[in-house]
């Protein structure tokens, strides 16, 4: 099984390069605190590149993504909150620029509908099983019940 | 066996979803098309140097007053070269176009205007793309239709051609005049 060992070594060393590509562009940025750095990573992960087909700005090399990353960095340093930064981007690039929809009258059903469907499904399930039980009990006539009992007795 | 209406309900629901997705897919919704956040809103303020003279500062207030197009361009943008003759023709027809030189180098931009003629009533130099960012520009070329009150009426992404101008953009411009 020597070949297997080689294969393992080769594949592990190959896969170890993969994480490098998940951040296409890593600018050298200096943050005042770890908390700010995490906010930056989180925000650039949530923001969507307006020029690309479904890519976040952290992962994208498009010039506009570079700009959005830089602006995010600046705004974090200037003390903007996460929501303020998101609003700033939406003001310029519309809701297209965010992956997580903002709560509004139009989008509220995204949260409400799954709950309603689940409740509806449960209600339907309860209704169906309950009505079937009733049908089963009522569908036997006295005659049939006697026959059923005699069959059960015979079996025993 | 009698089929209960309740059993059919999920099926109807799924079909409705399929119909919705099918409609979105077939009705030609372009996922590349990002709506402009500025349409119907006032042109954002700015303070940028002129392309020809770095000491001349141009502001929003100075350019507002008549209907115009605001064209975002750069020498690194090949579609802009394709669009340029159209802009020259529009300018000759009396359409006021303000040029925003976007994330470019001054020397290259000036040489471009010398080589291919300058259709712009005013040349604004935006090397960092600051105004571009406030306009929600994602690339070049982009053209904003701005009315006499300084409100953005429309934003067009990509190079303007004679066909597109005749088909749709001219009507939008004529409405502003």
Q: Give B8: exposed, middle or buried? Use CB within 10 Å, 0-12, 13-18, 19+.
A: exposed
Q: Is the pLDDT of residue A118 over 50?
A: yes
Give the chain B residue nearest A94 (alpha carbons). Answer: B37
For A21-30, A80-89, B10-19, which range has the lowest pLDDT when averaged over its residues? A21-30
Confidence of residue B2 (pLDDT cuts 50, 70, 90): low
Architecture of domain B47-176: 3-Layer(aba) Sandwich (3.40)
Residues of A in contact with B133 (CB under 8 A): 67, 71, 92
Q: Give the number of A-B residue pairs with CB atoms closer than 8 Å.
A: 44
Chain A hits for B5, CB-CB cut-off 8 Å, are none
Test A124 with B6 for CB contact under 8 angstroms.
yes
Residue percentage of chain A with pLDDT more than 70: 81
pLDDT category at A77 given cuts 50, 70, 90 is very high
Instruction: Decide if B94 touches A, using CB distance below 8 A.
Output: no
Which residues does A contribute to its contact with B (CB < 8 Å)? 50-51, 53-54, 63-64, 67, 71, 90-94, 96, 117, 121, 124, 127-128
Tell if the CB–CB gap between B34 and A96 is shorter than 8 Å.
yes
B17 touches chain A (CB under 8 A): no
What's residue A20's pLDDT? Answer: 47
String of DSSP letters for B35-95:
PPTTTTSBPPP-EEEBSS-TT-EEEHHHHTTS-EEEEEE-TT-HHHHHHHHHHHHHHHTT-
Across B10-20, average pLDDT: 90
> Over the stretch B86-145, which tens digit does the pLDDT of each residue have?
999 999 999 999 999 999 999 999 999 999 999 999 999 999 999 999 999 988 899 999
ipTM: 0.83
């Amino acid at each position: 099984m020597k070949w297997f060992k080689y294969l393992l070594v080769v594949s592990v060393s190959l896969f170890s390069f993969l994480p490098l590509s998940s951040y296409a562009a890593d600018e050298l940025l200096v943050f005042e605190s770890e908390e700010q750095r995490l906010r930056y990573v989180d925000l650039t992960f949530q923001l969507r590149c307006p020029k690309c087909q479904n890519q976040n700005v952290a992962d994208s090399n498009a010039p506009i993504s570079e700009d959005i990353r830089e602006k995010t960095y600046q705004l974090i340093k200037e003390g903007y909150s996460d929501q303020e930064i998101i609003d700033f981007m939406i003001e310029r690039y519309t809701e297209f620029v965010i992956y997580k929809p903002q709560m509004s009258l139009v989008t509220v059903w995204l949260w409400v509908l799954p709950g309603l469907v689940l409740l509806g499904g449960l209600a339907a399930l309860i209704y169906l099983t309950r009505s079937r039980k009733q049908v089963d009990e009522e569908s036997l006539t006295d005659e049939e019940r006697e026959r059923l009992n005699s069959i059960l007795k015979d079996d025993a | 066996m009698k089929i209960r209406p309740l059993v059919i309900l999920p099926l109807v629901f799924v079909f409705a979803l399929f119909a919705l997705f099918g409609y979105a897919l077939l009705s030609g919704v372009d996922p590349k098309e990002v709506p402009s956040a500025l349409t119907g809103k006032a042109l954002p303020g700015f303070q940028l140097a002129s392309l020809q003279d770095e000491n001349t500062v141009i502001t929003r207030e100075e350019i507002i007053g008549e209907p115009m197009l605001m064209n975002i361009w750069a020498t690194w943008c090949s579609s802009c070269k394709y669009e340029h003759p159209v802009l020259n023709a529009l300018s000759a027809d009396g359409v006021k176009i303000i040029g925003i030189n976007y994330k470019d180098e001054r020397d290259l931009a000036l040489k471009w205007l010398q080589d291919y003629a300058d259709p712009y009533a005013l040349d604004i130099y935006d090397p960092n793309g600051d105004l571009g960012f406030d306009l929600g520009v994602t690339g070049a070329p982009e053209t904003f239709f701005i009315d006499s009150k300084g409100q953005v009426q429309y934003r067009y992404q990509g190079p303007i051609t004679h066909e597109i101008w005749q088909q749709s953009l001219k009507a939008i411009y004529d409405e502003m005049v």
